[in-house]
Amino acid sequence: MKSMKILVFGSNGLVGSSLKRHLSVDKRFECFFSTRKDTDLFSFDDTKNRIQDFGPNLIINAAAKVGGIHANNTEGSSFLIENLKININILESIIGSPNIKLINLGSSCIYPLNASNPIKEESFMTGELEPTNSPYAMAKLTAIELGKTLKKEFNHSIINLMPTNLYGPNDNFSEMSSHVIPGLIHKMHMAKKNKEKIFNIWGTGKPLREFLHVDDLSKAILFINENNIDNEILNVGSGSEISIKDLAMKIKETVEFNGDLYFDTNMPDGNPRKLLDSKKIHDFGWSPAIELDDGLRSVYDWYLKNV
């Protein structure tokens, strides 16, 4: 029996590196873990040649330009342009190959700002986007709509996964462009190292967020593939919420920072609440395995060894 051939785009990123850890040890699959060094996803020809040369049964698109509130607020044009190019080139490249299945990684930010919580897949394109990340969301929405047209016109199998806020090893821990968990871990670690007495956090600390360890997402992707799940849009979340303030307190304890936390209410909060309704994938039989406390400890351990 031939191995299933899987092409993963974005293999150096948070999701891609997690998929590499899981797929590399599974002898059922022959995998190509693509990075920007071997494939320029901004080039249609380069993208199409990579797909044709490897001949995958399944493409997992984990490639994207991503960042936190500050990055989204200040680099909106590049978030829109770069993510559009990546998604359009991959989708256009498979038009003549309906036998290739595509799992496309989206984001919960595609859903409207005022969508009812928990947010169902049916909320897709029903309202105005959250302003701080609408350029990124618009690129993802375009990819979903293009995938739907390919499925209708050429009979492609394209699944768009909407994971909640992800965290894990190999995340972006930079000062200004990181998401909330890696950003807090890095900055609080530096505050501890510099023996600072006060740690500043953007916003009120009141917004509620849902988090999922990236290894749980990788297992969800494998679960979807193995069970031939073919939903056009599928939420993938933990189902648990935590306030930014309580999250910061957990990270404070994990990092062992002894100073005080100060919430700067002059800075934006973003969406006040964003909880995904992941009932559909849970009903299929998948559920996350990594608790937030355990995940934070493992990520901080990874950070200490690698950053």
DSSP strand pairing (208-213 vs 241-243): antiparallel
Catalytic residue among 111, 136, 167, 300: 136
95/57 Cα distance (integer angstroms)? 14
Residue 275 exposure: Cα atoms within 13 Å on the Cβ side? 14
Peptide bond into 118 cis (omega under 30): yes
CA distance linking residue 220 with residue 231, whole number of Å: 13
Distance CA 214, CA 182 (A): 13
Q: Is 136 in the active site?
A: yes
Active site residue ranges: 136
